[in-house]
Every structure is written in C-alpha cells, then in structure tokens.
Amino acid sequence: MSTTRTIEVRQLARVEGDGGFSIRVRDGRVRDVKMNIFEPPRLFEAFVRGRHYAEVPDLTARICGICPLAHMLGASQAMEAGLGIPVSPAVRALRELVFLGEWIASHSLHIHLLHAPDFFGCDDVLALSRDHPEAVRRGIRLKQVGNDIVRRLGGREVHPVNLRIGGFYKMPSMSDIDALRQDLEWAREAARETVQWTADLTFPDFEQDYLFLALHDPEDYAVLSGRLLASTGEKMAIGDFETFMREEQVGHATALHGLSRQHGAYLVGPLARFNLNFSQLSPGARKAAESVGLTPPCGNPFKGIIIRSVEIMHACERALLLMDQYRRADPPGAETAPFSTTGCGCVEAPRGVCWHRYRLDERGNVADARIVPPTSQNLRSMEADLHAFADRHQDLKPDRLAWQCEQLVRSYDPCISCSSHRINLQTTRGT
C-alpha cells in the first residue's frame, strides 16, 4: 500500500521576504520539492522603463533594504559601460570601501541574528542572547561598524544618497576616513573571533557537488570588478552572462529560476566565492580559515556561516588597506551626453552575483531592463538541496526534519524580496 506524507513550512522565519517550502514523500522517497515564493513581484524592471538613466541607481536601490548598494552599483556600472562614462581609480576604491561596509553589515546580521540560532536550538536571537550574550553583542556591534561605513561615506545607512553614476556627489575628507579606522580595527579582531566561534558549531554531514559561479579577479577577492568564472573553468565577460544562463518560470514562485544553459542548477554567493577565489582572500582572512580547517573544496551549505565570518574579516582588512591608500578624486564624478546604447553591470552582493542590463534610447531613457538577483539564481539549487537532504534523513522525526530543512534554506541567506519578479496574468475572453 502506497504511503504519502508532506513536510511543509508555510512561512519561513528569519529570512528576508515571504516564502516557504513543501516536500512530498511517497513510499520512503522524496518525490517533489517546491520553494514556494509567494511574495508579490516588485516589478522594478517594468517601472524603470521610460525613466532617465541617471534615476535608475536610486530606484533600483529600493529593491532591497539590506543590500541597496549592490543594486545601486550594479545599475551604475551598467550605465557607465553603455555610455562609456570614465570612472577614476579613486572613485572605484571609494566605491569598494563603502560596499564592504554593506558586506560587513549584511553578513553580521545573517550570522548572529538569523542563522546562528539554528545551531543552538533557539527560535530567535532573543533566546540565543540568553545563553550567548557576548556573541550576540559582538554581532550587533559588527553590524553597526558596517552601517557606520555606509552612513559616513554614503550619506545614510540605508539607500545612501552620496553615490551617483560616474562617482560621488562629494568625496569624503581624510578625517571622515580616519574616523572609521578604530572601529574597523576592532571589527577585524571581532571577525577573527567569529570565525572561531562559528567553526566550533556542529554541522550536518551534507556535501553537495555544485556548479559555482562568481566574479573573479586574479589580483583581488572580486567584489565590484572582474570576469565571471564558473567552476567548470568557463570564463566570460560581464556582457556575456546571458549566454551562460537562462531564466525559467515556475508555477509555485513569483521568482524566476536561474539555470545554466548547459548544466542546469548553479550556485552563487559565499560558498561559490570561497571555492573559486580562496587564494585572493586577504592574508589574515585566509589564515583564519586555514586555522579552523576550512579550505576548498567545501560543498557543505551549512558551513556558509563560517565563510561569511571569513569574508567579514577579509572586508575589514581590505577596507583598512583602502583607507591607507585613499586619495580624493577631483572632480568626484564624470558625466556624458546620452545616446542609444546597451550596458551591463555586475557586482558580488553579499548573497552572490547581482547582474543588471539596460537598453537606453537616444534621449537616455530606459527602453528595456533586466535584473538578475542572487536568490533567483540559487532557487533551483535550494530545491535540489532540500530534496537530497530530506532523502538522506528519512529517519528524523518530522518536526526535526522540517527544522533542519529550514536551517538549510536559511544557510543561503535568501533575499526573497529581491528575487520576486514574475506575476501571474490570467485573461478571460468574453463572448
């Protein structure tokens, strides 16, 4: 006699946005897995059409309140590439510095407030803080250090106002830069402690064979520049991304699924960056990872919490180096007359590759837009991971299995609001 049961989490906790998942098991085998993204689509690609190109970075920043700079800088790079707007080395360095602030804030939030409670059997960070108050305080202060970088250099913590296409409205003074140094030096050591703290956690035995994709730069741990690199060895220019991937619409999600045209599901984010760019990490971050036995290859998504800690340390060391090398750009930005063109931009958001493409008309207004955020690229891998994990752990009690599957999804730090692009449209033709 056939038996069927369903493991369902209707509303995921401790993620950004609204979503859930269902796993259907029949005769002891997982038969179907769905990541149910039911948050309404944001429609940013539609409402930027007709807007002047200079408005787009500020508009797309509103896609997300956690990583607004990722979208702002992705859109800016696309316009600069299409219009040939020069960006000085000083501007590029300052952009990286402020973006690293977003990395520190985002990773600290995810590690301490969203993901760590899972490892201690806690429902939320309030419960975690009762037994591990020092770790929680450290995480909150780390997040504040990141926020302070964005606020001081970008004008405010969320949706900063000092950045624009071609550069900045105002370059910070040396005193502005120096004011960040003491907190960043503290954050570097706090990140080192966080690497050790997270490495001491107990992780499920779950190694997956992923196709990784990340920005890659031979000299630096790529954040804002480089070429796209896949773990197959394939390299491509930013503008060739659409030859690598395609998007597929599914009935159970308001988000498109990103797929490699040749290989299907692929993974972006900290695990991909770590495996593809380990040798480009800052010396201290690389040493910290090696000290806890974390080196490539690593295919356990649960260990993303350690990798994010390593990336915080890298961000702190890199930020301090950029501060030592800081020079004010004069002028703070560049402009050009608009013309009909197409441009692409790509950055490494904390959650992975974030890609923008815009086609402009002769007046510089947006004729077409395409935005591919990290979470939509990871959705198919999330479903594959849930399928494999549930299949291997049929012996767990249903509530325990559901808990660990939730933890597995949270290990991706999915930004569901960023990924929601599709809308169902049904028409009825009258007689």
- The CATH number of the domain where 144 resides is what? 1.10.645.10
Please give the annotated binding residues for Ni(2+), written as ranges.
64, 67, 415
In the chain, % of residues over pLDDT 90: 88
Taking 80 as the threshold, does the pLDDT of residue 225 lie above it?
A: yes
Q: What is the mean pLDDT of residues 371-397?
A: 95
pLDDT digits (tens, 9 = 90+) for 151-191: 999 999 999 999 999 999 999 999 999 999 999 999 999 99
Cα within 13 Å of Cα(19), Cβ side: 30
> CB of 355 within 8 A of CB of 345?
yes
More confident residue, 174 or 426: 174
Residue bearing tokens 């059997």: 121
Residues 6+ apart with CB under 8 A from 72: 57, 58, 60, 61, 160, 163
Average pLDDT in the chain = 94
Q: Give yes or no for a cis peptide into 297 (omega within 30° of 0).
A: yes
Report the alpha-carbon distance of residue 154 to residue 91 in Å, rounded.
13
Is residue 34 assigned to a domain? no
Is residue 149 assigned to a domain? yes
User: Which residues form the domain of 191?
Assistant: 44-419
Q: What is the mean pLDDT of residues 84-93?
A: 96
Is residue 304 assigned to a domain? yes
pLDDT of residue 213: 98
Is residue 378 assigned to a domain? yes
pLDDT of residue 424: 47
Is residue 354 assigned to a domain? yes
pLDDT band at 3 (very low <50, low <70, confident <90, very high): confident
Please give the annotated binding residues, written as ranges.
45, 64, 67, 371, 415, 418, 421
Is residue 54 assigned to a domain? yes
pLDDT of residue 420: 86
pLDDT band at 426 (very low <50, low <70, confident <90, very high): very low
Report the alpha-carbon distance of residue 55 to residue 73 in Å, rounded.
13
How many domains are contained in the chain? 1
pLDDT band at 117 (very low <50, low <70, confident <90, very high): very high
Taking 70 as the threshold, does the pLDDT of residue 430 lie above it?
A: no
Taking 60 as the threshold, does the pLDDT of residue 84 lie above it?
A: yes
Please give the annotated binding residues for Mg(2+), written as ranges.
45, 371, 421
Is residue 93 assigned to a domain? yes
Residues 6+ apart with CB under 8 A from 4: 24, 25, 26, 27
Q: Give yes or no for a cis peptide into 331 (omega within 30° of 0).
A: yes
pLDDT band at 422 (very low <50, low <70, confident <90, very high): low
CA dihedral (195, 197, 199, 205) in degrees, to 10, reads -140
pLDDT of residue 431: 40
Is residue 28 assigned to a domain? no
- Provide the H-helix boundaries in 1-55: 44-47
pLDDT of residue 427: 44
Q: What is the mean pLDDT of residues 263-291?
A: 98
| Overall residue count recorded for the chain in this entry | 431
> CB of 190 within 8 A of CB of 136?
no
Residues 6+ apart with CB under 8 A from 357: 78, 242, 342, 343, 344, 345, 369, 370, 371
Taking 50 as the threshold, does the pLDDT of residue 357 lie above it?
A: yes
Please give the annotated binding residues for Fe cation, written as ranges.
67, 418
- Structural tokens at position 233: 């060895």
pLDDT of residue 429: 52
